[in-house]
Amino acid sequence: MPMCALALSRRRYLARLGRVLCALLVTGTATSLRADPVADFYRGRTLNLISGFTPNGEFDSYLRLLGRHIGRYVPGQPQVVSSSRPGAGSMILANHLYNVAAADGSVLGMFAMQVAVEPFLKSDAAVFDPLKFNWIGSLTRDQHFCAVVPGPGIPETFNELVRQETKEVLFGTSARSSEIYRFTTPLKKLLSARIRLVSGYAGMPAIKLALQRGEVNGVCGLTAAALRRQHGEELRSGRLRLLVQISGPPTMEFGKLPMVFELARNDEQRELVEFFFRTLTNGRPIAAPPGVPAERLAALRMALAATLKDEAFLDDAKRLNIDVGPIFDKEIASQLQRLSENPEAFFRKVREVLD
């Protein structure tokens, strides 16, 4: 082959090789740009979901239901592990999540809304700022009820419970920061219900056992889902009687009951009843610690929203008789922001009810 032809062929080969290398470089750069740092973080990791209540309670049931499904929607599909860190009405978990838990998106906690507002009430036990939590959302808006076990001297209606001649009825409660305590105490202090609080129970399962044993006669905080799942026969047979609905949309599912909001007798009572039974009953909020990177928070919020629409999740919830009615992060954050803007005089009234 003539030397000029060989040189031309060599130049063509090098030009073609250059084009191939350039294309590979561009492809590699595009692939690098498309890499998902959130997926890279979660791939091979564990996402820890922690409930602030006992393992056999409703908070734990909701969290474990979520844990069975949300991993499919988190980029990188991490393993999801659900656990419990109970105590002080979920205050222990809230403090742990804020001060100790890894702030990298690998730990989420579910605790009571009542605990989230404790710093506004100047509680020394609450070592966190609720406005700095990264809220993810909530699975449900619960309907709560107060009930009694019928017996001699036990009222059949809420109106009977407030009559002066009624003997005080023993109602089981748990920690002062718990939703059960916050549901029961305002009925006594604001609405003059003839209730004597029996404190110290470690959550609703322990109070239900106390009801069966006759240690107490009543309880506040039973959800519609729990009534369907665990107490249907007791309601039908009359072994458990509902007195009042204290949160959620009004329902006739369990018969005609008064709503607690109807029972306030003046504007001041109505303001406080709204606080205890509407503001504080919006769901079972899930939060991440402060400082979690924004892109991971966005991914976790999107994963929760997708899970709540997932057919397998909804079928699982239906099988377990668990109500699903989501509340998303912005609503929780906005509600807490509005609460924080109340004057000190308002929170002083709240503390007087709880003392």
Q: Which CATH architecture has domain 144-279?
A: 3-Layer(aba) Sandwich (3.40)
Task: Report pLDDT for 18.
Answer: 52
* Cα distance between residue 20 and residue 239, in whole Å: 81
- How many residues are present in the chain? 355
Strand partners, 241: 148
Q: What is the pLDDT of residues 117-148, one digit of tens each?
A: 999 999 999 999 999 999 999 998 888 999 99
Burial classification of residue 183, based on how many CB atoms lie within 10 Å of its CB (0-12 exposed, 13-18 middle, 19 or more buried) = buried
Task: Report pLDDT for 293.
Answer: 98
Radius of gyration of the chain (CA): 27
Compute the C-alpha angle 260/258/245, nearest 5°: 60
Contact 71, 113 (CB under 8 A): no
DSSP 167: P
**Backbone dihedral region of 79: left (phi > 0), alpha (psi from -120 to 50 degrees) or beta?**
beta
Listing DSSP states for 26-82 in one string gives HHHHHHHHH--HHHHHHTT-EEEEEESS-TTSHHHHHHHHHHTTGGGGSTT--EEEE
* Cα distance between residue 250 and residue 259, in whole Å: 7
Residue whose C-alpha is closest to residue 166's, from 178, 157, 179: 157
Domain ranges within the chain, ordered by starting residue: 39-141+283-346, 144-279
- What Cα–Cα distance (Å) separates residue 305 from each residue in 278, 324, 328, 342? 23, 12, 8, 31
Contact 223, 320 (CB under 8 A): no
* Cα distance between residue 19 and residue 180, in whole Å: 71
Fold matches, 39-141+283-346 and 144-279:
yes
Task: Report pLDDT for 130.
Answer: 96
pLDDT < 70: residue spans in the chain? 1-34, 280-282
Beta strands in 258-313 (DSSP E): 286-288
Is CATH 2.140.10.10 the right assignment for the domain spanning 39-141+283-346?
A: no
